[in-house]
Amino acid sequence: MKHLLLAIDESGDRAAAQAATVRDLFDTDSTTAHLLHDFTDNREGASVSQVAAVRRAATILEDAGVTVEYHETSGTPSRSIIQTAEELDVDAISIAGRKRSKAGKALFGSVSQEVVLGTDRPVLLCTRKDES
């Protein structure tokens, strides 16, 4: 059984790309996808299952026969992703990158970069088809 952590932000397109990648690369009957959303500001008290991007990924995965579990955190996204991966002892982390200029990365940081550099687990970086 493979356990994968999919770190999902607000983008439904990126979440769909992550889910499709997992569906296409892993044996769907023996994979558990742990869908994680980090709430950096959750004043309304929403739950992870209410996030449209998470629901979109879950639908794609469940339709393919992947077992889905939901997780939510609140804090610094990269730190939350790494800590959750460790707590769940997942086999790999899936993140969705965004295209940014070098200056944009320097000014705003990169969750993807921080996760890749901050974990010893394999990291699967997914992009939307129009970004590849």
Distance of CA 19 to the CA centre of its chain: 9
Closest CA to 18 of 78, 75, 61, 48: 61
- Cβ atoms of 17 and 129 within 8 Å: the answer is yes
**H-helix or E-strand spanning residue 14:** helix 12-25
For the segment 43-95, what is each residue's pLDDT rounded down to a tens digit?
A: 666 789 889 999 999 999 999 999 999 999 988 999 999 999 999 999 999 99
Cα separation values, 73 from 1, 21, 38, 39, 105, Å: 24, 23, 5, 6, 24
Spell out the domains of the chain, with CATH numbers in brackets.
2-131 (3.40.50.620)
For the segment 95-132, what is each residue's pLDDT rounded down to a tens digit?
A: 997 766 666 555 455 888 899 999 999 999 987 665 44
